[in-house]
Structures are given as C-alpha cells and as structure tokens.
Amino acid sequence: MTIVLPPTATGLTKAAALLREGGLVAFPTETVYGLGGDARSDAAVAAIFAAKGRPRFNPLIVHVSDLDAAERLARFDARARAVAQAFWPGPLTLVLPLRAEAGLSPLVTAGLGSVAIRVPAHAVAQGLLQAFAGPLAAPSANPSGRVSPTQAAHVLDGLAGRIAGVVDGGACMVGVESTILGLLPDSPPRLLRPGGLPLEVLEAVLGTGVATGLDEKAITAPGQLASHYAPVAAVRLGATTAAAHEVLVGFGPVTGTLTLSATGDLAEAAANLFDMLRRADVLAGAGGRIAFAPVPETGLGRAINDRLRRAAAPRA
C-alpha cells in the first residue's frame, strides 16, 4: 500500500515519520518528483535502488535544505559557492568532492569520492526537508529507464505498492530534471546533464565556458547512457507532419494532437514534456509511434532535446 499524503503540515509530519522508519516517500520538487529516502541509511538507500530497479553503480542526488547543510557533506571551492549562492534553491545539482565525515551511505555515491547535491526550491520539498531534518537521497520517482514523473499520479503509475507514500503537491513547474554541473578540483566546470537551469545562465555566473562533451575519464552520469526516458512507443524526432500510425507532438508552428507550446515558449514546453510523452504513448497504442516537432537547441531547449534524443534512442 502506498499512501497519498496532502502537502500540509500534517502530511509532511507523516511523511517525515515514514522516512525516519526507513520508508520511501516520493515528493514534488520544481523539476520532477523525487523518490526520497534517508541518505544516511544503507537500508533506505538500498530500498530506493530496489524500488526503481536501478543499477547500483548509478549514484543518487542528495537533497538538503540549504547551502550550510550542503557544505557539511561536500567541499565547496569559490566557483561552487558562487553558483550555489546564485542558483540555490533551484534546478541545479552540483557534483563536488565528498567529505569523509559526511555520514552518507556509501551506496548514495556508488562508492565515488564525489557527491551530487541539490537544494530544491519547491515549498513542499523544503517543508519535507525541514520536517525530516536530514539529507534525502532522491532520484526521479520512476522505474529506471522510464519517463520521469511530474505529477503524483505519474509516480503511482510506476511505483504504487513499492513505496510507503507520495506527497501530492500537484504538477512540477519546471518539468525537466536539474542541470548537473561537475565542479571537481583541478578540472574545468563540466556539464554532466543539461536540465532546468539553462547552460547560458550558468556560464554567465561562472564567467567561463562549461565543458559539455562527454569526458570518458571523468565520472559520467549514467543518465547519459543512450536509452533512458523511454516510452513504450517508438519515437521519431524533427517531424513537421504525422505519418501513418503516428501521434504528432507539436511545438511552435507545428500543431500536433498534443502541442508542447503553441507559442514556442520553451519553459511551457519543458513543463509539458513528460506528461505529453506519457499521454502520446497511451494515444499511440500498441505498434504506434510518437513524432516530435523540432525544438531549438538553446536555453531549456537543450534539456528538452536531450530527453527527446534518449526517448528516441535504440532500446538497450
């Protein structure tokens, strides 16, 4: 049984109690719903991997309430402090050197010497972090390899019966996962995943370019594996009309059965992306296909296209 909790003080107190018992509770963030568990508990973190069917070599993001809490887990240099001050709370995850005394379960970091940390802006996520008063490991609350959830109903679709609860805070405002920036010593800043914070905005504060290519030597985020975010139907990109047995998802001048944003607004498109991918999947039905209109590769378009390329990639 997975209980659905309201985003009230009572609901958050109950959610925090479940987390303290080692239970898993999904909760809304401004990006997507996270599947939370106590980041200090081996049992809770192992349960997250089991509930998602996620390979254990793929480390999790640790969520904390503020920069002070983050500094107790990782070492921040001047660059890291500058971007944290500019963009936290918000859709940015930093990969930083892990402090030996952080007290996190080694499963969270998959045994790496670095840790991914984020301070979410969503009021319900902040409320839950206050109520729990500790770090929460939280990957996206979907079975591994499937489309990320932006509504409580999406979480239940994939994980009902496998987790203790979900706090229903409505639809996520940003709609794509956080931008992941690697800031490791003696290395230039590296984009490990495009996301809800546009690269251009990040570079303006860093005052330098951010490396975007995959560096095979650097730790690679397994979110970078080709097939991820897969719907059931096959996906075609760059479409301007629907072929036979295709559900067209439009953008800007291309009108589809569903349209990410009729006005070509990238923020609106990001917020609609995963819900429309799920709905198009249902509409396509067995043997059907989904075709997506082109989206520009700027700002949030970078994250949208990254998720669409993964949805379209040959299945692993």
Q: Nearest approach, Cβ of 195 to ligand TXA (angstroms)?
A: 6
Least spacing, CB of residue 306 vs ligand TXA, in Å: 11
Minimum distance from CB of 312 to ligand TXA (Å)?
19
- Residues of span 179-238 touching ligand TXA by CB under 6 A: 180, 192-193, 219, 221-223
Contact criterion met (CB below 8 Å) for 56 and 109? no
Q: Compute the least distance from the CB of residue 116 to ligand TXA, in Å.
A: 3
Choose from Mg ion, ligand TXA, none: what does 65 bind? Cβ within 5-8 Å by kind: none
- In sequence order, what DSSP letters do the residues of 252-307 get, joined into one string? TTB--SEES-TT--HHHHHHHHHHHHHHHHHHH-TT-EEEE----SSTTHHHHHHH
Q: Is 140 in the site for ligand TXA (CB under 6 A)?
A: yes
> Which element (helix H / strand E) includes 206?
helix 199-206
Q: Does 273 bind ligand TXA (CB under 6 A)?
A: no
Residue 170 or 238: the one with the smaller Cβ distance to ligand TXA is 170
Tell whether the torsion through CA atoms of 127, 132, 136 and 141 is positive or negative.
negative
Write out the E strands in 135-189. 136-137, 165-167, 179-182
Q: Is 32 in the site for ligand TXA (CB under 6 A)?
A: yes
Instruction: Please identify which residue in 139, 158, 175, 301 interacts with ligand TXA, judged by CB under 6 A.
Output: 139
In angstroms, what is the minimal distance from the CB of 155 to ligand TXA? Answer: 11
- Binding mask 157-186 vs ligand TXA (x if CB under 6 A, - otherwise)? --------------------xx-x------
Question: What is the three-class DSSP state of 82?
Answer: helix
CB of 4 to ligand TXA, least distance (A): 18
Residue among 23, 37, 59, 89 that touches ligand TXA (CB under 6 A): 59
Encoding tokens for residue 132?
Answer: 């729990």
| 261-300 footprint of Mg ion as x/- string (CB under 5 A) | ----------------------------------------
CA distances from 275 to 102, 114, 245 (A): 36, 32, 20
- Shortest distance, position 175 Cβ to ligand TXA, whole Å: 10
CB 233 within 8 A of CB 288: yes
Neighbours of 55 (CB within 10 A): 12
Using CA atoms of 82, 183, 208, 303 in order, give the dihedral in degrees to the nearest 10.
-100
The residues that bridge with 209 in the sheet, in sequence order, are none
- Does residue 264 bind ligand TXA (CB under 6 A)? no
**Helix ranges restricted to H, 8-97:** 9-20, 42-52, 67-71, 78-87
Binding site for Mg ion (CB under 5 A): 140
Binding site for ligand TXA (CB under 6 A): 29, 31-32, 34, 58-61, 93, 95, 109, 112, 114-116, 118, 138-140, 177-178, 180, 192-193, 219, 221-223
